[in-house]
Amino acid sequence: MRRRKVSSNIALIGFSATGKSIVAKKVAEYMNWNFIDTDDEIVRFSGKAIPEIFEQDGEDKFRQLERQALRQACQKGNVVIATGGGAILDPRNQELLLKTSTVVCLEARAETIYQRLLQDTLYSSNPVVRPLLAGDNPLERIGQLKAFRQPYYAMAEWTVHTDNLTLEEVSQEVIKGWRYANRHRKDEAQSAKANLACEVKTATGPYPVFVGWGLLDKLEEKMKQAGLSGVANVISDETVFSVYGTQVRRALESGGFIVNYCLVPPGEATKNIDQAVEIYDFLIEHRAERSDVIVALGGGMVGDLAGFVAATYLRGLSWVQVPTSLVGMADASIGGKVAIDHSRGKNLIGAFYQPRLVLADVQTLTTLPQRELTSGWAEIIKHGLILDSVFFEFLEANVENLIRLRPEITSKVIARSASIKAQVVAEDEREVGKRIILNYGHTIAHGLEAASKYEHFLHGEAVAVGMIGAAKLSHRLGLLSQSAVERQKALLEKFHLPIDCSGVNLADVLTAMEVDKKVRSKVIQWVLLEDIGKAVVHGDVPAEEVINVLREVIKS
């Protein structure tokens, strides 16, 4: 029995001249969806007409381009896809269509097809050479080829006989078939939304963020629901993989994925161009293709590094974020900011490249070293400080349960934190406006990290110190009350986060801050607070005030 899936696409299959392209376009108009003709996409990819591809490059090259076009079409949502007549012969295309789309076959008798092809050739202002009309008996040739393909067309969930129907009638029958095929999918749709914390909506497409206790075993299921299949290249650090690698590999292999894995040393110092090149070498050795998926299993460092590789290898591979650190779950895995560090600054080399999904198994936090777990609370507290005073109050009231990682409340808090991040990303994907407020505390933090060569601080520790610095600066500029500064300080201390530091050269911190990503026209854009839950951006902060604050948070 065929496994049902939740599909938001319609794919039309069928023999040549059954009307796939014109019907797909009309159905898309009726449903207010997008329309994609894979033959048109092939021409766009190659810069050649289809007959030229066959003549110059051969059928194998054409089928390769066809798979590429179909794969990219199926990755979208709310799309009506017109496939080529022979696309369904490839088992990989069959599997992809059945996983992602409601498949409707347009049928017609051989005589009808012959007359349509003949009419198209005779009356077209730009006639196309029709190989099916070649030879002494084209009708017989059409009948034989159609009979050969008929078993493949039988995979369709709905068939429309188009011989005596108008375009509008065929289109309505296709829509009827889509409704019929989806009549039993309510439960599956609910399953797909289980543990859904939020959906990140960006110009490059939406993707889900799942947060819950014990989700690793559902990784294969969630990836397939996202239309992913084939080869999964897991990028992880040695420590995380030693704990969760076997579980992840088994989960993926149970769903038919071929699993390769590449391990990197743990720690921020790994996030550099040399390590990225090593991962490129790994992908080349395994002959990775654009249909492959990269799975980032680990904390924020792994997510940044694996995402950077995914964005740049073969001009972009699909990738999935599986964060195992608190900072990764609540913040770093969401928003598509991928990067590697430079010796003179953090995240200076990178891109915006969104994952296909994020899956955060809160249970993995139970195996984190205490220092790393503590570090992660900084980003969650930050989200309350910049955008949600009610969330900040909730954190104040539930410190003990969160520190003890009570499953329900911890999952709830991480999901809310992820939703806040997703909301900002949806408004400003590429950090040209509002998204900069997510960097509250990060100007000083990145300066501390770079000045210590990424060896002294965990990211959340540096952010905690940076947020105290930003709060003090906000107060010095008359923006924030002293009581609000004290509330922030008190909550950070309750989560055992640092509020100052030592062992760092102040001059080195200032130098690193000058090349921070938030510099505009050589001026640092400071994210400050007017109140808890209300962030503002200032580019006119006096240098002497910055130095005074740094002297308060960096002890000699």
Which residues are catalytically annotated?
315, 337, 379, 421, 431, 435, 439, 442, 446, 459
Contact 129, 51 (CB under 8 A): yes
∠ CA 59-63-65, nearest 5°, is 115
Residue that has been written with the tokens 């993926």 in this structure: 252
CA distances for 465 relative to 152, 448, 496, angstroms: 63, 9, 12
At residue 524's C-alpha, the angle toward residues 518 and 525, to 5°, is 65
Cβ neighbours around 26 below 10 Å, total: 20
Give the separation between CA 532 and CA 394, rounded to whole angstroms. Answer: 13
- Lookup: tokens for 324: 């195992």
Is residue 470 within 8 Å of 526, Cβ to Cβ? yes
Q: Tell me the C-alpha distance between 248 and 296, whole Å.
A: 11
Q: Is the dihedral of CA 45, 51, 52, 53 positive or negative?
A: positive
Q: Nearest to residue 468, comparing CAs of 499, 433, 504?
A: 499
**The CA-based dihedral angle spanning residues 291, 296, 302, 306, taken in that order and rounded to the nearest 10 degrees:** 10
Q: To which H or E segment does residue 280 belong?
A: helix 273-285
Question: In this structure, are strands 207-212 and 196-200 parallel, antiparallel, or unpaired?
Answer: antiparallel
**DSSP assignment, residue 518?**
T
Per-residue tokens: 263: 């391990």
Residues 301, 265: Cα–Cα separation, whole Å: 10
Rg, Å, the chain Cα set = 28
Q: How many residues does the chain have?
A: 556
Tokens describing residue 294? 């990269």
Q: Quote the CA–CA distance of 31 and 315 in Å, as a whole number.
A: 32
Residue in this structure with the two tokens 């922030």, named with its chain if needed:
488
CA distance 251 to 216: 8
Rounded Cα gap, residues 375 and 331, in angstroms: 12
Cα 544 to chain centroid distance, Å, stands at 42
Cα distance between residue 456 and residue 258, in whole Å: 39
Sequence-ordered list of residues with C-beta below 8 angstroms from that of 528, at least 6 positions apart, any chain:
440, 470, 473, 474, 477, 479, 480, 535, 536, 537, 538, 541
Contact by Cβ (8 Å): 529, 471:
yes
